[in-house]
Amino acid sequence: MAIRISRSRTNYRRGSYSVEPKTLYQSDSSTESRMKTCYTRQLYSQFANRRDDSMWIRVLTLLLLIPTISLGDEKPDMVFLMIGQSNMAGRAAMEPQDKTPFKGVQLLNAESKWEQAVNPLNRYSALRKDISMQRIGPSAGFGTAIQAHFKDSSIGLIVNARGGSSVNQWQPGMPLMATSLKRWREVGSPQLSAVIWHQGESDAEDPEYLKKLSVVVNEIRSKVGQPDLLFIAGEVYGDRPVNDKIRAIGEHIPHTGFVSVKDLTVFDKVHFDRKSILELGRRYAQKYIELTTKN
C-alpha cells in the first residue's frame, strides 16, 4: 500500500491536505491488498473534511505502523493438491462475481504462503502458461462445495496445473511432478486430504494411460508419505478411449475414484464452459465426500 500526499493549491492557506489511497498491486491482487486499500479509503472519507493538521499526522502515522495483514497466517485444516492440464487450470471465461473472495478457502500463493482464495486459482501455479490464459477452473466449484460441507474447517488449495501437459510429463523426476511436490514441501509438507487430477486430453488415444497414471499416483503417495492418499481423476470431454482407462482407475489402484463429465458442455472442442467447469468441481467434491464417508 502506498499513500500519496499532496498539498491542495486551493486550500494551501488553510494548510489542508488531500490524501488518496493508491495501490501498487496488479489487477489480480490479493484480498489483503484490497482490504488495505478499502481501509485507507474509509480513513480518508472519515477525515477528509477535517482541517486539523495534527489529526492528519496521527492518521498517517497509524497507517505507516499498520503491520502487514496476512489472511493466510493460519494453516488450513484440509489441504488438496489440484493438478493436471488446461481444464484443471481453467479456461472458462469469468464473470464479475467470480472475483469475489472465497469464504473459508485459502490458496497457496507464489511466496508459499496461504491467502484467501480469489479466481483465477491457477495463477500461482509454478507451471502455468501466460496469466491471461488463467480463468475459472474446477477448483472454484470444488473449494466452494467442500467448504460448504465441512463448515467448521478451513480449506487449502494447492493448484499447480499446466495446460497441454501429457501424463508422460507428470512421471517421477519430471519437472511437473517435481515442481508440484516442491510447492507442497515449501508450505511445510502438510497432510494432504486428496489429490484432484484432471488430465488426459493430451493422451486421449494412449493405451498405456492407466499404467502411467498408476505410476503418478504411487509417486505422489510415496513422496508425501501417505500410502492411502485419496486420488480422484476426472473424465475428459467426448467419447475418447482414455475415458475407459480413467473409469477403471478404482479397479486397478486402491483408494481412488473418478468423476463423470456426462451432460457437461464445452465452448470449444476441449474446454468446459463456465457452468460445466463449476459443476465438474462440485462433482469432484461430491466424490471426495462419498469416498471419505464410505471409508
Q: At CA 131, angle to CA 217 and CA 110, rounded to 5?
A: 60
pLDDT value at position 52?
A: 53
Residue 175 lies in a domain: yes
Instruction: Please name the helix (run of DSSP H) or strand (run of DSSP E) that holds residue 7, with its range, or none.
Output: strand 2-7
Residues 154 and 91 in one domain: yes
Q: Is the pLDDT of residue 9 over 60?
A: no
Q: Is the pLDDT of residue 30 over 60?
A: no
Residues 59 and 114 in one domain: no
Residues 44 and 111 in one domain: no
Distance CA 21, CA 94 (A): 27
Single out the residue in 19, 35, 65 at which a domain terminates: 65
Structural domain span for residue 191? 78-294
Single out the residue in 65, 95, 111 at which a domain terminates: 65
Supply the mean pLDDT for the chain.
Answer: 82
Which grid cell sits at 99? 472475483
Cβ atoms of 86 and 130 within 8 Å: the answer is: no
Residues 184 and 243 in one domain: yes
Residues 182 and 283 in one domain: yes
Residues 206 and 266 in one domain: yes
Residues 59 and 194 in one domain: no
Q: What is the CA radius of gyration of the chain?
A: 23
Residue bearing the bigger pLDDT, 250 or 59: 250
The number of distinct structural domains making up the chain is 2
Residue 230 lies in a domain: yes
pLDDT digits (tens, 9 = 90+) for 169-213: 999 999 999 999 999 999 999 999 999 999 999 999 999 999 999
Cβ atoms of 6 and 18 within 8 Å: the answer is: yes
Confidence of residue 131 (pLDDT cuts 50, 70, 90): confident
pLDDT value at position 127?
A: 85
Q: Which of 47-56, 136-145, 176-185, 269-278 has the lowest mean pLDDT?
A: 47-56
Residue 147 lies in a domain: yes
Distance CA 288, CA 61 (A): 49
Average pLDDT value for residue range 242-267: 98
Cβ atoms of 121 and 157 within 8 Å: the answer is: yes
Q: Which amino acid is at 285?
A: A
Q: Is the pLDDT of residue 5 over 50?
A: no
Average pLDDT value for residue range 263-267: 97
Residues 203 and 286 in one domain: yes
Residue bearing the bigger pLDDT, 130 or 164: 164
Which grid cell sits at 141? 466449484
Residues 180 and 49 in one domain: no
Residues 247 and 128 in one domain: yes
Q: Is the pLDDT of residue 13 over 60?
A: no
Residues 273 and 234 in one domain: yes
Q: Which CATH number is 94's domain given?
A: 3.40.50.1110
Q: Which of 5-9, 140-144, 170-174, 185-189 has the lowest mean pLDDT?
A: 5-9
pLDDT value at position 73?
A: 58
Residues 194 and 224 in one domain: yes
**122 strand-pairing partners:** none
CA nearest 287: which of 178, 195, 192?
Answer: 195
Half-sphere exposure of 259 (CA within 13 A, CB side): 28
Which grid cell sits at 41? 479509503
- Which residues fall within 8 angstroms of residue 192, CB to CB, at 6 or more apart? 79, 80, 81, 184, 224, 226, 229
